[in-house]
Chain A
Amino acid sequence: MADTDLTDGKANGQTADDLWNTREPEDRDVLVDIQDLCTYFYTPEGVVHALGGVGLQIGRGRTLGLVGESGCGKTVLALTILRLIPEPPGKIVRGKVLFEGTDLLGLDQAGIRKIRGNKISMIFQEPMTSLNPVFTIGFQIEEVLMLHQSHRAPARKQARDLAVELLDMVGIPYPRRRINDYPHQLSGGMCQRVMIAMALACRPSLMIADEPTTALDVTTQAQILALMGELKEETNTSILLVTHDLGVVAQSCEDVAVMYTGNVVEHAGVEDIFSRPLHPYTRGLMRSIPTLEARKRGEQLHAIPGNVPTLRNMPKGCTFHNRCDEVMDVCRRERPPMFRPHPDHCVRCWRYANG
């Protein structure tokens, strides 16, 4: 694995192990390779370390589920990849986001604008508020097409035909009629389909979906997830699926990264994560899902004690140590680096220091 940028990390108190031990791309075709990514927010109350050295990979044509509780930095990571962090107060302090070999953080504004919406697109949590209420959905999809495909920008007429095609692809009935509808005329599920159509308009290599189904009903959620899965296979788009729902991850992702307080604490394939979760936090999350079987056995739900620490006053050492039931002395003193107990499974926990 490449070890060219270790000096940088060291200067900031990061160990070399940290970088070496991030999940190796192996023989897989890696589309996005994030290394030691740090995003801080400078607020009057102090510096908030929203991302504290995140490393992860997204394979081409694969779905990576990014799981974690609110405030763990999931959304900041998604925004950092697209360089949408408001500066100030935010600042991408260091790290790399290698996308198809180029470092997105090194691009100038014009360069990143060519990537946004074109190569990397984004779907937000609330479809109703992310669409512009005063334009028809057809107009909004056409706008995407005409803005981004500058070298082969279609004429309005062509753009309309393409938009109809896209609406048809995401399963909206009577697309030719629906294209003149305004967002308020569609249900939440339909709006999310329109968002997906817009996101896919330029055939991106990566689609970032930030909690795309959280605001939807379960039956609608199942349809949207199935649709995203189908489209991914058709277009070979990679998906970064940000969610807090482990069920959604289990059903629609191939790889999983678990985040806690601005860091990836576990990164592995979906089978591995669910069959042998290694980090005590991941295990705690899995055990806190209520099931009917647990109720029948008269079990109490396992709850992770305490609260997620606020990013402003993070505990010393491992940030999870004060909620962890397997805490050791070293956890209170030092932050664990990424360990690799199995070839394809990384975990940031001192328990695995010896393999």
Chain B
Amino acid sequence: MNLRLTLLTAGRVLRQIRGDHRTVGLLLVVPCVLIGLLAWMFDGTPFFGRIGPALLGVFPFVVMFVVTSVATLRERTSGTLERLLAGPLGKADLMVGYALAFGLMAVVQAVIATSFAIVVCDLDVAGPVWLLLLIAVLDAILGTALGLLASAFAQTEFQAVQFMPGFILPQFLLCGLIVARDQLPTALSAISDVLPLSYAVDAMSAVATQADPLPDAGLDLLVIAAWIAAALLLGSLTLRRRTP
């Protein structure tokens, strides 16, 4: 991996996003609107305190998954991927460049969404707020890494968008937000023990409810980091320099 080429690529991806004001707006505003909506729905009940933090981990994951899978698919179909791989850029430079750029977007998104949840919606967080942000950013990078991987299996943008329900919804259903994970049927509970979003939600809940969440959340973060590494590795295997 070449750091200079990686940073150049991350800069290029950020420049592409920056040129698209509507996407930037949607990335930053939509999570706040949804969190506001939830806070309002559950006004006067303890539910928002329970699922609010978990959603702060789910939004960046979902949004970055969709954005990345479409962006990478465009790179494949426009011929720029072939051009890049014919040049000196390595596969890892490209993958990590994308992860860095979207990771940075995720930092901004997480700061805004978390501030909105705490300041405007009065979300109570027992643990340190920086840990909440760290988890949100890792969730976003996880979404980016899985999006890069998913884009390899899509030939059109329509297919890429379909991966959202295909890849994400099962994880969302099994992550413990709807039914606590230990109350799921045994087989589903075992599956949810493998899926990365479960750990994202667990980590967020730990920060929300524990004053010293690091022992619990730290382990969850390690699992998420392992998933990121595995997805980036698998994703880079799907990038082929030579094609038929």
B partners with A: no
Identify the A interface with B (CB < 8 A). Answer: none
Identify the B interface with A (CB < 8 A). Answer: none
